[in-house]
């Protein structure tokens, strides 16, 4: 009976404790939201660091709280450009559907690219995003029915002439978002042939149900012009609107310039063979299937035994789990690579090649 008499008191105590935790979470969430607002407004190192600190502390204290999914999403958004793998982890912690989509978008940037699906290539031959051949690749999706095309295509011509000598490969793809009945492949072909552009031009694969054309949708396009930049290593470095003037255009030119300044796989292999450990660190950070092939190639001419051992360690971390048989020498396992390479792809989630 005495125990029964204490039950209401225990319930009240538990409710008070839960209320205190809730109030603590609410107060902490308000602090995170305020620091996020400052970070978005001022974009300084101080405000960004303060927001990250508050968000991480919130998730440490309330990992299963009612606001944890929101804060995980915010942290993912903060880190997606500078630290994509951390961002991916925070997106995966969130239960919000938008976080799932953003995690998928990050993985898409680093995994093998899908092919462009087009009706036809009209000018200057075909264009592919694979394999990573050392060039920086740019695909601009545009609407031939949009008034902006008259400004866009001459600007693409300038970009091509400016950056092609440094290794930029550019293609333009006429895509359809609306007014489908006025943009049949035949009509688009006649319109585009008049421009006589110096780079490959294609008509995107159209759909009969009035949906967005295939390649534009495949590469996340929400509007046109939509630009996809692929770095020298076969990874998406930009998939966003293409702004043609002002600070946005200046930023784009800076991104292209920075991508072109990156060493190619061939250059990195040469540096590694010459004994430059920083080339191995760079290759270790790229994390693609092409990286595996570059590392294997570098072994042929490496004179430093210690660098060779480090290269094999990195290869073991990139190749699929169980790739090397029990007690199999590294040389024997790597000799098999050309005959089995097509079986594997790089997985961002696993951070290594998988079947």
- Rounded to whole angstroms, how far apart are CA atoms 205 and 202? 9
pTM score of the predicted model: 0.85
pLDDT surpassing 60 at residue 17: no
Collect all residues with Cβ–Cβ distance below 8 Å to 107 and sequence separation of at least 6.
88, 347, 348, 349
Give the span between the Cα atoms of 143 and 193, in whole angstroms.
15
Enclosing H/E stretch for 262? none
Average pLDDT over all residues of the chain: 90
| Measured CA angle at 280 (ends 107, 110), to 5 deg | 10
pLDDT at 13: 45
Helix (H, G, I), strand (E, B) or coil at 8: helix
pLDDT at 1 over 50: no
179 — alpha (psi -120 to 50), left (phi > 0) or beta? left
CB of 90 closer than 8 Å to CB of 76? yes
Question: For residue 22, what pLDDT band results from cuts at 50, 70 and 90?
Answer: low
Query: What confidence score (pLDDT) does residue 250 get?
Result: 95
How far is CA 322 from each of CA 125, 166, 283, 317, rounded to the nearest angstrom?
A: 42, 41, 22, 11
Partnered with residue 353 across adjacent β-strands are 346
Identify the band that residue 340 occupies on the pLDDT scale cut at 50, 70 and 90.
Answer: very high
Q: Under DSSP, is residue 144 helix (H, G, I), strand (E, B) or coil?
A: coil
Q: Rg of the Cα trace of the chain? A: 26
Q: How far apart are CA 102 and CA 241, in angstroms?
A: 17
pLDDT of residue 231: 97
Give backbone dihedrals phi and psi of 289, rounded to 5 degrees, phi first: -65, -40
């Amino acid at each position: 009976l005495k125990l029964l008499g204490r039950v209401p008191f225990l319930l009240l105590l538990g409710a008070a404790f839960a209320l205190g935790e809730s109030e603590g979470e609410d107060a902490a969430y308000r602090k995170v939201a305020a620091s996020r607002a400052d970070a978005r407004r001022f974009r300084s190192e101080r405000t960004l660091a303060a927001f990250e600190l508050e968000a991480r502390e919130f998730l440490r204290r309330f990992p299963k709280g009612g606001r944890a999914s929101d804060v995980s999403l915010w942290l993912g958004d903060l880190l997606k450009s500078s630290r994509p793998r951390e961002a991916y982890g925070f997106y995966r912690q969130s239960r919000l559907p938008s976080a799932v989509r953003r995690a998928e978008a990050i993985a898409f940037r680093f995994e093998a690219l899908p092919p462009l699906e087009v009706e036809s290539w009209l000018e200057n031959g075909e264009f592919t995003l694979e394999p990573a051949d050392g060039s920086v690749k740019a695909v601009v999706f545009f609407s031939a029915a949009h008034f902006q095309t008259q400004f866009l295509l001459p600007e693409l011509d300038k970009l091509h002439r400016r950056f092609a000598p440094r290794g930029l490969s550019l293609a333009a793809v006429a895509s359809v978002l609306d007014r489908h009945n006025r943009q049949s492949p035949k009509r688009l072909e006649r319109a585009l042939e008049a421009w006589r552009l110096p780079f490959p031009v294609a008509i995107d694969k159209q759909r009969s149900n009035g949906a967005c054309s295939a390649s534009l949708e495949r590469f996340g396009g929400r509007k046109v012009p939509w630009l996809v930049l692929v770095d020298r290593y076969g990874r998406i470095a930009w998939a966003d609107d293409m702004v043609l003037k002002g600070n946005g255009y200046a930023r784009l030119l800076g991104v292209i310039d920075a991508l072109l300044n990156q060493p190619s796989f061939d250059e990195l292999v040469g540096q590694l063979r010459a004994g430059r450990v920083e080339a191995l660190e760079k290759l270790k950070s790229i994390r693609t299937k092409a990286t595996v092939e570059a590392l294997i190639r570098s072994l042929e001419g490496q004179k430093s035994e210690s660098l060779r051992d480090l290269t094999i360690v990195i290869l073991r971390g990139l190749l699929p789990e169980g790739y090397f048989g029990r007690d199999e020498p590294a040389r024997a396992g790597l000799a098999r690579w050309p005959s089995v390479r097509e079986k594997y792809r790089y997985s961002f989630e696993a951070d290594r090649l998988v079947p």
